[in-house]
Each structure stands twice: as structure tokens, then as C-alpha cells.
Amino acid sequence: MAPCADFAALRASPADVRVVASDGSNIAAHSSVLAAASPVMEQMILGARRGWDAGCAVVCVLGAPSDAVAAFLRFLYCRPGPRGMTAAGEEEWAEGAVGEHGAALLALAHAYRVPWLKRRAEAAVAARLTAERAVDALKLAALCDAPRLRLACARLAGKDLGAVERSEGWRFAARHDAALQGELLQLLHDAVQRKKRWERERASQHVYRQLSDAMAILDRIFAAGGAGAGEVCAAEASPCEVDGVRRGLEQLMRHFAACGGRARKPAACPRCRRALQLLRLHASVCEDRAGAGEPCRVPLCSNLKAKMQEEGVDKTWKLLVKKVTRARVMSALASREVPEVVKKSWAKYSSRRAARFR
């Protein structure tokens, strides 16, 4: 944060606004600074100057201690700069002020529409949040429209709900504000459900990645030109090829080629049915390389592909193929090396984005 351009000149000029706090203390200020920093202050000053005494307007800032009001006005005399405060002492004072009057500064910044100060005060309150103050901070977040503080309260309550329930704020909410207590419990319930949903999605993505790796292993198993399923050959080592998975697929393909009941009724053998499903999935995700002179060497790939095109497939199978294909693409993107230019631009963007919320 750096002083505004006319701050030095305005300090020498006489103050034309008196800010009155809740305890009756007066703070001299300059109308041009307050009006430029806060649109609400600008309207209050214009309204105060319509009276008899137009020379020195009186603005009442109520609902906060006088020390917090003085700190708020000092912040209004400073504006966020691209490189923070110009002096180390100013930055040290700002950190101490938001640490001591964080809740009051958040309320004042929200009421008088000072967004950069609101973000800084919200971050300070969230960083110093304790279980004893979690319920009070949640109420403050609801009144001041502070979603990050609300999320911090929910995370703290999720980690140590017992300590929050032993706090005075929780007991007060149980007696006088059941809606606030219900909101906190709803946040915890949503967090638990969201965690369970993420775990299910993560497990399903792991299964899709395994199926994608199995399709790649099938390509490598038959890459040496085996004409039938019995001619299984090992491929070169690859990060996605786990030895156990490759051996299991090789044994499954050997069984599929040698099973006597396959010719009569493939569905009668569970292992043959599983192998046929894998081959069908491979035919669905296999890229068409016939035009390039490289037909797929996996058994029954072209036959199953033609059969599916003729008979069609259901929506469930299409969804499975789509998710397996997406998992294969995402795995390839994750293993790709990021260029140095992209790394530098991403680091620059991340630093700028983090500076906006300080």
C-alpha cells in the first residue's frame, strides 16, 4: 500500500470533515480523501454539507470502537499499490491493525464499500480464527457477505466440532439463534457429503484410468504381430504397464483362446465373458488406423467394431467409453512435460492473483 498522490499536500491543508465515533471522539479528516476512497463516505459528506454549516461537515461512524475507526480512516488515506507499502513501518502497522481490529475493519469496509480493505480484513480474521470465535465469525461472515470467512469457519468446525460446541458462541446460538446453529450444522453436513462425493469420484476415476491402462497394455501385448489370441508376447517396459496387470491380461487372453466352451456359448464362462467385455471396450476406444496401413492387431477388434456399428450400443456403454477415453487423454496430458514459458506465465499469474486477496 502506498500513500495517495495528494496525501502530503492534504496533511498540510486544514481538515474539512469531522468524523465522530461511537464514544463521541472526533477525528479530523479531509473530505477529498474520504470521498475518493469510499463512495458511501462521499454521499455522507455531500449530505452533511447541505446543512447550515457547509464549511466543516460532520460524519458519524458508529458501531465500532474509536481505535478501530481511527485505523479505518488511516487505511482510507492509503491505497493498495502494486508492490505493497512503501515503508516497512507502514506494512508492520497495517498487519498489527488488521490483527487487532480485524472484525471491526471487516464490518466497516463492508458498510462503506472499500473492497480491498474488506478482502484484507477478511483474510486476517480467517487466519486468526479459533474455535471459541467460530460461531461469532460465522455470523459476521453472513452479515458482511464474506464467503472465504464462512468457508474457514466451516473447515474449523469440521476439524474440531467438539471445541466449537463448548464455546460460548455456540451456547448463545443454541438459546437465541437456532438458525445460525442450523446453518453451521448444514455446512458441516454439506462438507461431509462433498467429501464422500469426491472420494467416490476419485475412486471411479482410478477405475477408468486402470481400464485405460489395460487398453494400452492390450495394444502392447499384441504389438509384435500375433495373429491370434494365443500368440501373446511381452511388450517393452512402460510406466503404465504393471507387471501383475500385464500377466493377468496375458493369462486371460490365453484362456479366451483355449477355452473349449467359448465356441459353443461364450457367456457360460465368466473369464471368457470378462475377456470379451475387455475386447469390446478396446474396440470402442481403439483409434481407426486402417487408413494409415496399420490395422489393429488385437483379436476381434475389427469384428466387434463392425458389429457395434451395425447393432448399436446403449447409453451406459457410450458413457463408459467416453469416461475411459477422457481418462486416457487426461493421463497423457498429466505425463506431458510443461514448457518453461508456460511455467513462468502460470507463476506470474498465480502471484498476481494472490496479491489481489492480500
Domains of the chain: 1-128 (3.30.710.10), 130-176 (no CATH), 199-340 (no CATH)
pLDDT in the model for residue 118:
94
7 confidence band (pLDDT: 50, 70, 90): very low
pLDDT digits (tens, 9 = 90+) for 320-341: 889 988 888 887 777 777 788 8
How many CB atoms are located within 10 Å of the residue 24 CB?
7
Which residues lie below 8 Å from residue 160, measured CB to CB, with a gap of 6+? 131
Buried b (16+ CB within 10 A) or exposed e, 171-199: eebeeeeeebbebbeebbeeeeeeeeeee
Under a CB-based contact definition with an 8 Å cutoff, are residues 78 and 89 in contact?
no
Mean local confidence (pLDDT), 290-296: 58
Nearest to 56 by CA among 14, 16, 10: 16
SS3 for 221-248 is HCCCCCCCCCCCCCCCCCCCCCHHHHHH
pLDDT in the model for residue 346:
77
pLDDT in the model for residue 342:
77
All three cell numbers of 16, joined, read 474539512
Residue 3: is its pLDDT beyond 50? no
Place of cell 458508529: 62
Tell me the C-alpha distance between 191 and 194, whole Å: 5
All three cell numbers of 182, joined, read 442450523
All three cell numbers of 133, joined, read 470465535
pLDDT in the model for residue 148:
93
Q: Which is higher by pLDDT, 336 or 155?
A: 155
pLDDT digits (tens, 9 = 90+) for 208-226: 988 888 888 888 888 754 4
- Maximal C-alpha separation, the chain: 106
Tell me the C-alpha distance between 59 and 266, whole Å: 87
Give me the phi and psi of 82, to 5 degrees please. Answer: -70, -20
Under a CB-based contact definition with an 8 Å cutoff, are residues 150 and 136 in contact?
no
- The per-residue DSSP string of 293-338 comes to T----STTHHHHHHHHHHH---HHHHHHHHHHHHHHHHHHHHHSPP
Secondary element (H or E) of residue 182: helix 178-221
pLDDT, mean over the chain? 80
pLDDT digits (tens, 9 = 90+) for 79-137: 665 444 545 567 888 888 998 999 999 999 999 999 999 999 999 999 999 999 999 99
Q: Which is higher by pLDDT, 189 or 78?
A: 189
357 confidence band (pLDDT: 50, 70, 90): very low
pLDDT digits (tens, 9 = 90+) for 236-275: 334 445 677 788 888 888 888 887 555 555 556 888 888 8
All three cell numbers of 291, joined, read 487408413
Tell me the C-alpha distance between 46 and 54, whole Å: 9
Residue 2: is its pLDDT beyond 50? no
Which residues lie below 8 Å from residue 274, measured CB to CB, with a gap of 6+? 252
Residue 300: is its pLDDT beyond 50? yes
Place of cell 459476521: 140
Under a CB-based contact definition with an 8 Å cutoff, are residues 107 and 118 in contact?
no
pLDDT in the model for residue 4:
39
